[in-house]
Chain A
Amino acid sequence: MSGSFLVDAMVYLAAAVVCVPLAARFGLGSVLGYLIAGCAIGPWGLGFVRDVESILHFAEFGVVLMLFLIGLELDIGRLVRMRRSVFGGGSLQLALCGALLAAGLAAAGLGWVPAIVAGLAIAMSSTAIAVQTMAERNLLNAPVGRGAFAVLLFQDIAAIPLIALVPLLAAGAADAGNPWVDGAQALGAIVAVIVIGRFLTRPVLRLVAKSNVREVFTAFALLLVLGIAELMSLVGLSMALGAFLAGVLLASSEYRHALETDIAPFKGLLLGLFFIAVGMSINFGLIAARPLTLAGLTLGLLALKGVALALIAPRLDVAPRQRWLFAALLAQGGEFAFVVLGVARSARVLPGEWEALLIAAVALSMAATPFLLLAHDAAESRSARRTSEADVIDDDSAPVIIAGFGRVGMIVGRLLFAYGCRATVLDHDPDQIELLRKFGFKVFYGDATRLDLLEAAGAAKAKVIVVAVDDADKSLRIVDLARAHFPGLAIVARARNVQHYRQLRSRGVMLIERETFEAALRIGRDVLERLGAEPYEARLVADTFRRHNRADLEQMVAQPRDAQSAVAAAQAGREELEEMLRLDRARRGREQVTGWGP
C-alpha cells in the first residue's frame, strides 16, 4: 500500500462514496459503482494506488465473510437437500463450460493442456459479483438464485483440486509435494472446522455473550471467521469454503442473527474493496495495445459460457423464462481465475502473455456483468406481456416476535407455543436461551433495540410484537423502532410501572399490561378466601377493582405531567398512588354485588 493506511482508507472510501451512489442512481447496481471507483483510483486512472495485488488479496476476505454469511442462512438440512443441484448441476456446468472454453482457446492458438487449464479457470464464475447482485435483486431464495448458488458452491469445491493439480501438469514438477500428505492435511482441517463450528463455538459464544460487551462479541465473530480462513489457506483449501462450512454449522445456533448483524457491515465494506481492487486490476495499457484481441476474448468468454449456462439451467430447476437471467448472473469469470491462471503461469503451464490477456478478459467480463443484467432486464420488459409465474420464496417467518424472554415473555411464549403459534424470540441472556433451545424453542441471541435485528427476525412480515424486556428504556426504544419502521406490526407491551405505562400510552401503544397487576389481584383474592370470602365473591371483588383501577389509570395518564427528572417521576408516582387510594376509599362499601337474591 502506498502512503499511510489512513490516506489509503480515505481514498477507497471517498471513491466508493462518490461512485456507488451514482451507479445506483442510474440503476447500474453497486458492483459496477465499485468497479468504476477502482478504475478511477487505480494505476491506470488517477494512480492513487499502485500495489493492486496486495489489496486484492486483502479484499478477498470480503468474499470469505460473504460465504460465511451465506452459510449462516443455510442449515445442514437445506444443504443436504441441495446436494443434487450442487454436485449434479455444478459439475455439469464446470464440465460443459470448461470444455467449450478450452475448445475456444485451443482454436485461438493455445496448446491443448494450457487451454484445458485456462478453460476450467475461466469457466468458474464470480461468487462475489453473482451473490451480491442476487442479494440486491432479492433473488437468493428464488429458484434461479438457488441454482446459481449451487453452481458457485461446486466451483468453490472444485477450485481446490484444480489449483493443486496445475503445478503437476508442469514438466518436471518434482517438488509438488506428496498428495497423500496434502490430502490428509486437508481432511484434518475440515474435521477441525466441523469440531470448532459444531462443538466449541457455541459455548465460547455463550461465554463471550455473557460478558455483555458488544464489541467483544463482534471481535470474536471476526476472529472465528479469520481463524478458519487462515486454517484453510494453510492446508491449501479455499478460505471461502471453510468460512461457508463454519457458517452452515452455526446456522442452527441461537446466535445466528447476532453473528449476521455483526459481520454484515465488514462483509459489505470488504466486498466493496474487493470490487474496487478488481476495477484497479483492469490493465488499460493492455486494452489500449490489443483492443481487438481482448474484446474477442471477453465476448467469446461471455458468449460461450452464457450459452452453456442457459443450456444447463433446466437441470437446476431454473424456470425456462429465467434461464438467460441465470446465464447473465454467472457468465463472467471469477476470483478463482486470477488464482488458477497465476498458478499456471508460475508453473509455466501457461505463457505469460496469455495469462495477462485472460486476466484482463476476466476482469472485463466481471465489469460487463451489470451491463448484461441491464440488457436482460431491457429484453425482459420488452416482452413483458408474458404470463408471470411467481418465484417461490422461502418464507418461514413467524407471526409473533417476542422481545425479551424473561419472566414475562417466557410465559407469553409458552402460551403461544402450547396453542401451536410460532414465535421468534429475541433475548440477550445466554443461559435462558440455552435452556429454552433444549426444549425446541426458536430463540435468537440479540438486542431487540437494534433495527437490523428486528428486521432479521422478520418484523416486516410478523403481525404482533410482544415487548416484554425488563428494562423500561429498552422497551420504549423497541416501541419507537417498531412504530417508525413496521407500521403493520401490532405492539403488546409489558409495563414495569405506572410511569412506564404512561410512556407507552403516550407512544400510542394500546395493549399494555402492568407486569405485577394480575398476579397481585390473584394474591388478593387468595387472601380474601383465606379470610372466609366465597371464591366467586373474591373474584367479583377483584374484577371490580380491576375495572376501576384501569379506568383511574387511564384517566391519570391522560393528564399531562412533568416527567423531566427522576425526582419528578418519583413524585408523580407517589401522587398517582395517593390519588388511586383516595378513589378506592371513596368507592368502598358502595359497591354491592348485585344479582338474583340469595
Chain B
Amino acid sequence: MITVIYAHPHPLRSRAGRRLLDAVRDLPGLAVHSLYDRYPDFSIDVAAEQRALAASRLVVLQHPLYWYSVPALLKLWFERVLAHGWAYGEGGTALRGKDCLWVATTGGPPEWYTPEGPHAYPFDAFAPVVRQTARFCGMNWLDHIVLHGAHRVSEEALAAAAGHYRARLVHYVEQAAAA
C-alpha cells in the first residue's frame, strides 16, 4: 500500500539515501522500486509501475537532488508512467486521491540554499516542479522531507532523519488504518 520510488544511480555508494531507505524498508505493506536497479537501460516497464501505483495509497518519491531536480531516470519515469489517459487528461484518474510524499537529499549544507549561498534560492524554491507533478495527477501533497549535506552530515543527524522518516510512514499507516 506504500510504494517507494527510489531513484539513485549508485544506491550502493549512497550514504544518506541508503540509510533513509533502510529505515523504512521493513515496514509492512511497503515496496521499494529502486529504479536504477530495475531499469539500468532506462527501459521502464510502464505497466508494472502503473500496477504498483494503482495498488498503493501512498507514493513516496525518494532521490538525491541533481541539478535542482530529479535524477534523469525518475524524470523519464514521470514521462512514461504518469501517462496521459492514465494519470492525467481524459480518463486519467488512476492516481486521484492518493497521497504523495517527497523525500529529497542534497549534497550541500542548508546554508547553501540562501540568497547568499551558491544555490541562491531557498530549498523550497525547487519543490514546485515535483509538487505540481503530483498535484496535476490529483494526488495530495504531504509535507516533504529534505536532508541537506548528505555527504558530511553527522551520524547522529543521519540517524535522527532516518527515525523521523520512519515515524512519518508509521504514523501514516496508523492513520490510514484508523480511517
Residues of A within 8 A of B (CB): 525, 532, 534-539, 593, 595-598
Contacts and interface: CB of A to CB of B under 8 A. Distances in A.
A525 B40 CA distance: 11
A536 B14 contact: no
A331 to B, nearest CB: 64
Interface in B80-103: none
Contacts of A597: 107, 151
The 7 closest A-B pairs by CB, nearest first: A535-B40, A539-B40, A536-B36, A536-B40, A598-B13, A596-B66, A535-B37
Given A535-B37, A536-B36, A539-B41, A596 B67 contact: yes
Interface in B31-77: 36-38, 40-41, 64, 66-67
Contacts of B66: 596
Query: DSSP majority for the B interface?
Result: loop
B151 A598 contact: yes
Contacts of B11: 534
A534 B36 contact: yes
Interface string B1-28: 0000000011111110000000000000
A538 B10 contact: no
Contacts of B151: 597-598
Nearest to B16: A598
Contacts of B9: 534, 536, 595
Nearest to A538: B40
Given A534-B11, A534-B36, 8 more contacts: A534-B10, A534-B40, A535-B40, A536-B36, A537-B10, A595-B9, A596-B67, A597-B151
Nearest to A533: B12
Contact of B37 (A534, A593, A596, A598): A534
Q: For A525, A534, A593, which residue has the most chain B Cβ atoms within 10 angstroms?
A: A534
A534 B36 CA distance: 8
Interface in B123-161: 151
A597 B17 CA distance: 12
Contacts of B41: 539
Contacts of A534: 9-13, 36-37, 40
A597 B16 CA distance: 12
Given A534-B12, A536-B10, A596 B64 contact: yes
Nearest to B64: A596
A535 B64 contact: no
Nearest to B35: A536
Given A536-B37, A539-B40, A596 B107 contact: yes
A537 B41 CA distance: 10
Contacts of B14: 598
Contacts of A537: 10
A538 to B, nearest CB: 7
Contacts of B67: 596
B97 to A, nearest CB: 33
Contacts of A593: 10
A535 B41 CA distance: 9
Contacts of B12: 532, 534
22 contacts: A532-B12, A534-B11, A534-B13, A534-B37, A535-B36, A535-B37, A535-B38, A536-B9, A536-B10, A536-B36, A537-B10, A538-B40, A539-B40, A539-B41, A593-B10, A595-B9, A596-B66, A596-B107, A597-B107, A597-B151, A598-B13, A598-B151
Nearest to A532: B12
Nearest to A537: B10
Nearest to B10: A534
B74 to A, nearest CB: 13
A525 B14 CA distance: 21
Contacts of A595: 9
* Listed residue (B38, B40, B64, B67) with the most chain A CB atoms within 10 angstroms of its CB: B40
Contacts of A535: 36-38, 40
A525 B9 CA distance: 16
A598 B14 CA distance: 5
A327 B19 CA distance: 90
A533 to B, nearest CB: 8
Contacts of A536: 9-10, 36-37, 40
Contacts of B37: 534-536
B62 to A, nearest CB: 15
Nearest to B67: A596
A593 B14 CA distance: 14
Contacts of A539: 40-41
A526 to B, nearest CB: 11
A593 B10 CA distance: 10
A537 B11 CA distance: 10
B43 to A, nearest CB: 11
* Max count, chain B CB within 10 A of own CB: residue among A534, A536, A537, A593: A536
B15 A598 contact: yes
Nearest to A598: B13
A125 to B, nearest CB: 62
Q: Which of A534, A535, A598 has the most CB of B within 10 A?
A: A598
A595 B10 CA distance: 10
B32 to A, nearest CB: 14
A538 B13 CA distance: 14
Nearest to A595: B9
Contacts of B38: 535
A593 B9 CA distance: 11
A537 B107 CA distance: 21
Nearest to B38: A535
Contacts of B36: 534-536
Nearest to A597: B107
Nearest to B8: A598
A593 B11 CA distance: 14
A147 to B, nearest CB: 51
B61 to A, nearest CB: 17
A134 to B, nearest CB: 53
A369 B53 CA distance: 77
A537 B64 CA distance: 17
A15 B36 CA distance: 77
Nearest to A593: B10
B4 to A, nearest CB: 17
A482 to B, nearest CB: 32
